[in-house]
Structure 1
């Protein structure tokens, strides 16, 4: 994803309080496939005039279709917004496809940091499409319970990261520990575990708000870049500063849109990865249509391929996974909801003609 990188401050930006903030968007050397698109995109077959004036996956018919909110900066600082925005949007789309039924499927950001240093990125920056390529190339991304977030990568020296194991070995893909080491316990890598896959991914560069809204409405949240400097101290409301910089340095996900009844202007509803103490419970709103903060310049999306609905059970200590030596699970296949919507609209047009 060839996002515009901040030129004025190169790799580092200095905030008003003197702290330096890293540009968290970086294209890794191994990231070579920026899109895998095999199917028509929703805006080519769904009538955008049918989109509602306001819509959000935070509250659709009284139900939230979003997975857990996250904070990328604990237990120590890590510039992994690119992984958070990417995997949150992908997990949300899986939840949407499941009709919000059953426990949420959250995907392992730490696995992306452990295994994606050459393609996706690290605590010193990465890219949305790099994360998508990693998952596509490897053929899976484990669930969060396999490898919880530590905010560490192999190049990070923050906090306890010097002592953390962040290589892409089996036990850093999916692990469990049997008991205390003083009682003979060990930590092992599992050979079978729940996971999800990606079928397609791509980028919307048209800055066409109808195209972006159609993608969100029909298939789910998308990830995108913004310039984070003007929203570091955001306290709520709709961001409307048209003079703010548009060179992106931070990845977020757009989950819907709203409309100001007094002005008639629409705004994006955006999820950040700075925790619920920030902004509007971890979200912010920003005026739509003028590419404020660069939010509409390069919008990334991915469709799930499959995800685990029925696992291969293992013993508590990770042994005896039903005698299986391969990652064999019962996977649920993704059905693109936008295709169903397009078919319905086509049928309605045919019936009225």
Structure 2
């Protein structure tokens, strides 16, 4: 069997997405490549899909099947994409957190409906999910405040965030701390385009136009997802870190199970939620291109902290 997708096209997300990633840990570019190995991984994936789809489920439950990652063994996928660890320190004390107003919230809400969320992008071979999630939040919060919606430079964060490892991994909290301390202005993506590799930091004069953040708040909503929904309504799209081990095979529906690694390994952006059906869910923007999942998005069950989605949540203020 000849795989329909070339190997390089498969490497479109984080090789080392988060946390304590170091240059010596990079493995994606040296991973053994062969059509025989890809074909064997594809055959194994068919058995895995049957297993994942065998659990009792409703029509809205997640569906798993063939996608751009089906020619990777699970262990390869984990090593290339999910082998890093989130940087949990420094912990941010409660007194630094922006208070969340008490409010009722609707059955459904999505910031995309307000036209304040940019299009899904692809990380390609760069392990920069941490940067994509942070920049996506900044873009949306600016638009919520009435500024034009535009793609800001992810490459600028990858190249210049000195407390991360660029395409070799990083932490959203570290990136937000860097933006807050340095007051770096993020420029338009057109001025500092994405290259999918590390580069030298390009500095702009202070008079150059751009967006700097005023502050950010980090929360643990692991047993307070209603509060998390209020934060989303109040502050804008939220940066979260998840266990995405089962997302290799995700095609659509609501993820409720199979997040089994027990550790966070991937950064994404929550844009909304939907509680109108039998299973309420978060609406989650990924950065693996719009051919993955539901046009680049995943639906993850609200309640129960599925995939650790509520453990590390950040809101941005500009």
Same fold? TM cut 0.5: yes
* Aligned residues of 2:97 and 2:217 also touching (Cα < 8 A): no
Question: Which residue number in structure 1 is paired with residue 74 of structure 2?
Answer: 16
Question: Which residue number in structure 2 is paired with residue 198 of structure 1?
Answer: 213
- Is the aligned partner of 1:302 residue 2:316? yes
Q: Aligned-pair distance for 1:47?
A: 2.1
Question: Which residue number in structure 1 is paired with residue 8 of structure 2?
Answer: none
Q: Aligned-pair distance for 1:129?
A: 1.2
Which of 160, 181, 191 is equivalent to 1:137? Answer: 181
Q: Give the structure with the higher percent helix.
A: 2
CA shift in 2, pair 1:204/1:57, >3 Å: same
The alignment partner of 2:273 has SS state of strand
Question: Which residue number in structure 2 is paired with residue 218 of structure 1?
Answer: 234
- Is the aligned partner of 1:148 residue 2:193? yes
Deviations 1:143-191 (A, max 9, x none): 22221111111xxxxxxxxxxxx222xxx235xxxxxxxxxxxxxxx77
Question: Which residue number in structure 1 is paired with residue 139 of structure 2?
Answer: 91
Q: How many residues align?
A: 252
Between stretches 195-204 and 277-286, larger displacement belongs to 195-204
Deviations 1:191-248 (A, max 9, x none): 7432111111121113211221111101100111112220112111111116633411
CA shift in 2, pair 1:107/1:57, >3 Å: same
Partners of 1:27 and 1:54 lie apart in 2 by: 30
* Aligned residues of 2:235 and 2:316 also touching (Cα < 8 A): no
Q: Aligned-pair distance for 1:268?
A: 0.4
Q: Aligned-pair distance for 1:113?
A: 1.4
- Is the aligned partner of 1:173 residue 2:199? no
Deviations 1:249-301 (A, max 9, x none): 0000111100252x2x3110000001101111110101011111111111112
CA shift in 2, pair 1:209/1:232, >3 Å: same
* Aligned residues of 1:57 and 1:65 also touching (Cα < 8 A): yes
Between stretches 106-115 and 281-290, larger displacement belongs to 106-115
What stretches of structure 2 of length at least 5 have no aligned partner? 1-17, 29-71
More RCO (CA 8 Å, sep 6+):
2
Partners of 2:122 and 2:102 lie apart in 1 by: 36
Question: Which residue number in structure 2 is paired with residue 231 of structure 1?
Answer: 247
Partners of 2:97 and 2:298 lie apart in 1 by: 31
Partners of 2:89 and 2:307 lie apart in 1 by: 26
Question: Which residue number in structure 2 is paired with residue 179 of structure 1?
Answer: none
* TM-score normalised over the length of structure 1: 0.64
Partners of 2:19 and 2:155 lie apart in 1 by: 26
- Is the aligned partner of 1:41 residue 2:98? yes
CA shift in 2, pair 1:293/1:113, >3 Å: same
Q: Aligned-pair distance for 1:115?
A: 1.2
RMSD over equivalenced CA pairs, Å: 3.0
What does 1:235-254 correspond to in 2, within 5 Å? 235-241=251-257, 244-254=260-270
Larger-gyration structure (1/2): 1
Which of 82, 102, 105 is equivalent to 1:51? Answer: 105
- Is the aligned partner of 1:280 residue 2:294? yes
Partners of 1:219 and 1:241 lie apart in 2 by: 29
Q: Give the structure with the higher percent strand.
A: 1
